[in-house]
Structure 1
Amino acid sequence: MTSRHGTTTLWRPTGPKELDLVRELKWRAWPARLLGQPFFYPVLNEDYAVKIARDWNVKHDGAGFVTRFEVESQFLRRYPVRQAGGQTILELWVPAAELDDFNAHMAGEIEVVHEFR
């Protein structure tokens, strides 16, 4: 997790369908979770996001993307860092019901930094 100027850099591995929804939201918000998706999972390091996009999204969706975005650091303190495996496999679990509030605390646009096919 990288912090700068009051914001924290997060990454999100995503497939093409979710990326299309982000594009429809003008690169400023994450779409609502689907039924059966109780959490939004941004990750805290780029390497972990790359691994998921390359090894999981490509296999299941034909393409994988790594996005990078900034969120107000003070706001993120409400979400404990969760270790989902090894020491560098770190993520936040944002309840789906709080995603609009999370989006409201984003700074700038969501950008695609890696693409895998």
Structure 2
Amino acid sequence: MTQVTTLWRPVGPEELKLIEVAEMEAFPPRLPEQPIFYPVTTESYAVKIARDWNVPASGSGYVTEFEVDTTFLSRYDIQEAGGREHLEYWIPAEDLDDFNRNIVGKIRIVRTFPE
């Protein structure tokens, strides 16, 4: 039985459309100016980003939740991004296809802003 780790990813409407095109099974490739894909370790941190960054930038924000194979994820260290409660994985853009293949189940939308 595969052990999984639950992660969250705040996204804006454009990224959400691309996730939906992938049938909620994969995150889209990074843009050239986005060398890192950063899923976060808590829903509360994802909510903060979606609400405080995505909404002002694009009018709406979403929190996605998903599981990743824990063995695969162990290749990467958790990074602190500005505070102990701001923990995230930094997945190099070139590893995103492997990351997507190690998502277990579907990506789910668990919060929408504005509500």
TM range (shorter): over 0.9
Listed one character per residue, the Cα deviations across residues 18-60 of structure 1 (whole Å, up to 9, x for unaligned) are 0000000000000000111001000000000000000100000
Please give the root-mean-square deviation of Cα atoms over the aligned residues, in Å: 0.7
Tell me how many residue pairs correspond in the alignment. 113
What is the CA-CA distance between 1:66 and the residue it aligns to? Answer: 0.2
What secondary structure is seen at the aligned counterpart in 2 of 1:110? strand
The 5 A counterparts of 1:1-117 are 6-117=3-114
User: Unpaired segments of 5 or more residues in structure 2?
Assistant: none
Instruction: Report the Cα distance in structure 2 between the residues aligned to 1:48 and 1:115, rounded to whole angstroms.
Output: 14
Question: Which of structure 1's runs of 4+ aligned residues deviate more than 4 A?
Answer: none
SS of 2:75's equivalent in the other structure is coil
Query: What CA distance in whole angstroms lies between the structure 1 residues aligned with 2:95 and 2:82?
Result: 25
Q: Aligned partners of 2:83 and 2:29: how far apart in 1? A: 28
The amino acid of 2:89's aligned partner reads L
Amino acid of the structure 2 residue aligned with 1:24: V
Q: Normalising by the residue count of structure 2, what TM-score does the alignment of the two structures yield? A: 0.96
- The Cα offsets for residues 42-92 of structure 1, whole Å up to 9 and x where unpaired, read as 000000000000010000010000000000001101110000011110000
- Structure 2 distance, partners of 1:65, 1:30, is 14
Q: Secondary structure at the match of 2:16?
A: helix
Aligned identity (percent) is 54
Unaligned 5+ residue runs, structure 1? none
**Could you state the TM-score of these two structures normalised by the residue count of structure 1?**
0.95
